[in-house]
A and B are shown apart, each in its own frame.
Chain A
C-alpha cells in the first residue's frame, strides 16, 4: 500500500552529514555503488560504461558548491553529498500507482519493490531531491535502501552494521542512527551543531539532517601571512661557525 504508514514507529533511521568535514572524495558514492550493485536493489546498471556517454544508477551524488557573500567579501567551498532523505511525508510513496514504493512502518526506510514497479517514473517527478533514478535496462526505479541489507545483517560484525556510505567515509563526515530518538548520538549531534533539513518548504519532512560548515575563525586568531624569521646573530654557534660568520660578515 502506498499510503504512508498509519502507525509509524518512533524509530526514524537516517543519516547526518557534516558539511564541515566532507572533503568531496566521492568514497561514499563509490562504496554505495559497490555494496548496492549486489544488494537488495541490485543491479545498479551502467549503460555504455566505457563509451563516450556513460550513464548509470547511483544512490549517492557528491556536488561541490560555492557560497559567496559579496558584501562581506567571503566565500565558502562546500562538498555536498546528496542521497535519499527518507522523508516522513514522502511524496514519492503516495504518488506510486502500484504499491511498489513504500515507507517501512518499523524504521521509516523508504524502499521500492522492484518486482511490481511498472517504471512510470512518477516517483522521480515527485521527489524534490533527485533521490530516485531509473534503471533503463531493468525498466524499474531504484533508490537508496539505507543499506537495509547491511544494517540488520547479523552475519556482519556489529561495527559494520551501518550503511556503506557511513562505514567507508575516510573523514567521518557521515553518521547513522535513530533520528526519532532525541537522546541518540545523531540527534544530539544535530542539536549541538544546528543540523537542518533540505528544502523544508516542500513539505516532505526529511529525516536526514545536514550539519553546516563551522564559522571561519577570523581576527586575532588569523594565521600570519608570512613567516618572519631574521635571526642574524651567530651567538651560541660552534667555534668554526662563529669564525666563518666573522670572515663572511667582514
Chain B
C-alpha cells in the first residue's frame, strides 16, 4: 500500500496524543502528580496539539476536504466514521479535565474520574483508528488481531515516554511510576510488533492468482499482458513495492530505535539515578519517535493488497 505521509503522521501523532492523555488522567487521578498549572498547560497543550494536528492531517489526503464533516454520518457501518465520532466525543471529558487541572488546579477526586473517562475514550478512539485498517479483508497484513494490539500498545508507549520526559523536565510527580510503566510498555509493544512481523511471514496466503481469476483448474496462472502500459490508480495506490526490497533492514531500524534503545535508556535511569533522568528520557523519546515513524511507514508500505494478484502477484 502507498504510505501517505498524512496518514503516517495522523496515526503516530494522534496515537501519542491520546496515549499522553491517558497518562495525564492516570497520574492525576491517582495522585501521582500535583495539578501544577504550567505543567497542565504544556502537557494538555501538547496532547491536544498532537491529537488535533493528527486529525487535521488525516483530512489532508482527502480529495474533497471541505466535505470532511460528512464522514461523521455512517457510524452504524463504517469504522472510519466511528473513529471521527469518537474523536469528537472524547474532546468532552478530556477538555473538562484539562480545564479543571489548569484553571481550578484540581486533578483528583471527581475531576480525576472525568479524566479517567476521557482516558478510556482516548483508548477507544485509538482502537477505532486501528479497526479502519483491521476491518479490510483485502489487505491480510492489516486484517488480523495484531493490528489493534499494536496501535493500542504503541499509543500508550509513546504517550508514556512523553509524560516521562515532561515530568523530568518539570521535576514533578512520581517519576518511578512512569519509568516502570515506560519500560513495561516498550517491552510489550516491541514483543507485539515482533509477533506481528512473525505472523506476516508465517500466515498462509488467503488469496492467489488462481482464486482471483478462477483459472487454477488449468494450471498456474501468470499475467502475460497488462491492460495498460503505464501505472494506473490501482498500481500507484495498492502496488507499492519499494518497502519489500529493504523490509528486513527497516524492521531492524524500527525495532532498535523504536523499542530497544528507548528501553535501554529508560532502564538506565533506574541504574544511574535521577540526575540523568532529563537527558535520558528526552533521548528515549526522540529515538522512539524516529522508530515509530519507520514502523508506521512499514505498516503501510509492506502491506500487500489482493488486487495486485490481477497484476502479476502470485499470492497475498
Contact = CB atoms under 8 A, between A and B. Distances in A.
Whether chain B is bound by chain A comes out as yes
B176 interface: no
B237 A124 contact: yes
A150 to B, nearest CB: 23
A54 B228 CA distance: 10
Interface in B220-272: 220-228, 230-234, 236-238
Nearest to A19: B215
B81 interface: yes
A134 to B, nearest CB: 5
Given A128-B137, A133-B234, A202-B306, A94 B214 contact: no
Contact of B228 (A1, A3, A61, A96): A61
Nearest to B80: A97
A198 B137 contact: no
A78 B233 contact: no
B180 interface: no
Interface string B279-293: 000000000000000
Interface magnitude class on chain B: 35 or more
B207 A199 contact: yes
Interface string B63-100: 11101101111101111110010000000000000000
Contacts of A138: 63
A44 to B, nearest CB: 12
Interface residues of A, number: 73
B77 A3 contact: yes
B61 interface: yes
A96 B84 CA distance: 12
B299 to A, nearest CB: 14
Contacts of B62: 118-120, 139
A54 B232 CA distance: 9
A125 B310 CA distance: 15
Given A55-B232, A82-B310, A97-B84, A118 B65 contact: yes
B64 A139 contact: yes
Given A67-B218, A97-B74, A124-B233, A134 B63 contact: yes
Given A128-B207, A129-B307, A199 B212 contact: yes
A69 B231 CA distance: 30
Ranked nearest first, the 6 interchain pairs of A and B with the lowest CB-CB distance are A119-B63, A139-B63, A69-B219, A67-B218, A64-B225, A61-B227
Given A118-B63, A127-B307, 5 more contacts: A54-B230, A67-B213, A91-B136, A122-B132, A128-B212
